Structure 1
Amino acid sequence: MKLNAYQLSVMAAASVKKNLTITIIGANDGRINDPLFPLISGPLKNRCTAVLIEPNESLNSILRENYSFTKRKVIINSAVSNQSNITLYSVKEAFWAHCQPTYAQNWPNYRAPTGITSVDRNFVKKWIEKYQSASFNSDAAIDSRTVRCSRLQPLLSEKASMESIDVLQIDAEGHDDHVLYASDIELLLPGIIFIEITHLSRERLNALRKHLVECAYSCVLQGENMMAIRVPQDTTDP
């Protein structure tokens, strides 16, 4: 398997740690289109602990099945946010078969429609209208539900007994920067952050990069994502 820069960075981190701690926010089914799954299920199978955070409880059974190869996992049904709860918009299951984009060929029919679940209703509406294969009112195909939220540090402390992590991966369909701001990276100190940026405006992307740099990270674009590597800080006195 040819590894990309992100995967190589994770493998490099694993080479110097006995157990790598990985947190994935927006895990969906944990497998399809996830750059870490080939590593966690392969060379890192017995060398990492994965925390899979997914607010859609209907994906629980699929997520557990896809991660049945390891006991070193924690599945948390929650959203990461500064708010106590948020409204998530998604495609109703009755419309999944009529919303199958070409990029989802050979995927299970749930994967693409659940993969665009977002706090932005208009984002979901536009996606449906772009990919619907039958004539129906896009508004009628949108479901909404309120989910509980927490900042990341207390969530990991309570549910996974973790006070720090090595890798943080975020895929939140347009809400990615807000999730990062609620992820307490100053406390958890992840060495590697991988975050989707394709839905962010230039202004939001610049603000996100500025925040990461201020938190001692070096950032590099990776297609539709950005990878941030924590820069070791010199704590010696001059």
Structure 2
Amino acid sequence: MKYGASAAHLAKKILSRVRNVSEAPRKFFVQIGAGDGWTEWKGPPVGKMITGGDSIHRLVSQGGWEGILVEPNPHVFQRLRWNYRHMNSLIFENIAVAERDGVKDFYICHKNTHLSSFSLEHTQKHDPTGREGFVESVEKIRVRCMSLSTLLQKHNMHTIDLLQIDAEGYDFMILQSLDLFAMKPRAIRYEHKHMTQEEQTACKALLEKNGYRVHPTDFLNTLASLEGMCGISADAPPGGRKTSAHTQEQSHAL
């Protein structure tokens, strides 16, 4: 599949529409797999981590946004809080989003702190060349899990302007767990790279069934936007949480 500059331009245009919603003084996002909030993997032709490249950080730094940032890796989570230390409109959750609430095994890699997953196989396959010490750097930890519905209910969030998901192959599971009839994010950006072809097809069908146009933007990500979106859709109320957000650090020791 080819993506090119036109797809990237389309993604920027849609995100710009979400950002510039004039009817709502506050805009709300949820970022699942927030990393450290500052560095982001850039695929070919760049092919490396870019400092200051996190798209959500650039968006939120412009002001007018409140949101929830989820990062399960406890070491990366500390850096996430630090990188957003001057912003008081954000909620931080040191959890993993899963199909149900509870506690699960989770694998983190100390050689690549942006790599973590529920799947040991998924974590190890990122080292096909057998770099010295890579396998030994993978650690199994226990993480507290919430479903996306539980997370939104906990923080009284009933409208989302932007849902960003980077869950290392679990993106479709997370989208399936969200009631897209009741809760319609205006834009959804998710990582398709680690989905099977069947999952990519099913995910696209699910989103289109619920009124989204689906646009793969590069070899990693897909952006879905509500049909005809130019600001707020007519059937969605302005605002997101019923009460104003304040910085909340929800760190759970296990």
Is TM more than 0.5 here? yes
Aligned to 1:185: 180
Q: Does residue 86 of structure 2 align to residue 69 of structure 1?
A: yes
TM-score by length of 2: 0.74
Task: Work out the CA distance in 1 between the residues paired with 2:58 and 2:234.
Answer: 35
Q: Does residue 218 of structure 2 align to residue 211 of structure 1?
A: no
Q: Does residue 184 of structure 2 align to residue 163 of structure 1?
A: no
Among candidates 14, 36, 52, match of residue 56 of structure 2: 36
* 1:221 Cα deviation after fit: 0.7
Q: Does residue 13 of structure 2 align to residue 8 of structure 1?
A: yes
* 1:137 Cα deviation after fit: 7.2
What are the superposed Cα offsets for residues 15-53 of structure 1, whole Å, 9 maximum, x if unpaired? 223111011000010121122211211x3x2x1102101
CA contact (8 A) 2:73 2:108 kept: no
CA contact (8 A) 1:164 1:187 kept: no
Question: Quick one: which amino acid aligns to residue 149 of structure 2?
Answer: Q
Among candidates 139, 142, 154, match of residue 143 of structure 1: 139
* 1:186 Cα deviation after fit: 2.9
Question: Aligned in 2, Cα 1:21/1:210: closer, same or farther, shift over 3 Å?
Answer: same
Question: Quick one: which amino acid aligns to residue 89 of structure 1?
Answer: Y
* 1:119 Cα deviation after fit: 1.6
Q: Per residue, is there more helix in 1 or in 2?
A: 1
Percent identity, aligned pairs only? 25
CA contact (8 A) 1:167 1:192 kept: yes
For 1:155, what is the secondary structure of its paired residue? helix
Aligned to 2:120: 121
Among candidates 20, 28, 38, match of residue 21 of structure 1: 28
For 1:185, what is the secondary structure of its paired residue? coil
Q: Per residue, is there more strand in 1 or in 2?
A: 2
Question: Quick one: which amino acid aligns to residue 39 of structure 1?
Answer: L
* 1:78 Cα deviation after fit: 1.6
Aligned to 1:86: 104
Unaligned runs of 5+ in 2: 41-53, 236-254
Task: Work out the CA distance in 2 between the residues paired with 1:125 and 1:180.
Answer: 25
Aligned to 1:102: none
Task: Work out the CA distance in 2 between the residues paired with 1:40 and 1:4.
Answer: 20
Question: Aligned in 2, Cα 1:208/1:30: closer, same or farther, shift over 3 Å?
Answer: same
Aligned to 2:223: 227
* 1:71 Cα deviation after fit: 0.4
Question: Aligned in 2, Cα 1:137/1:230: closer, same or farther, shift over 3 Å?
Answer: closer
Task: Work out the CA distance in 2 between the residues paired with 1:81 and 1:186.
Answer: 20
* 1:75 Cα deviation after fit: 0.3
**Which fold has the larger relative contact order, with Cα–Cα distance below 8 Å and residues 6 or more apart in sequence?**
2
Among candidates 40, 45, 68, match of residue 51 of structure 1: 68
Aligned to 1:172: 167
What are the superposed Cα offsets for residues 123-148 of structure 1, whole Å, 9 maximum, x if unpaired? 2112134372x3x472x332112222
Unaligned runs of 5+ in 1: 97-112
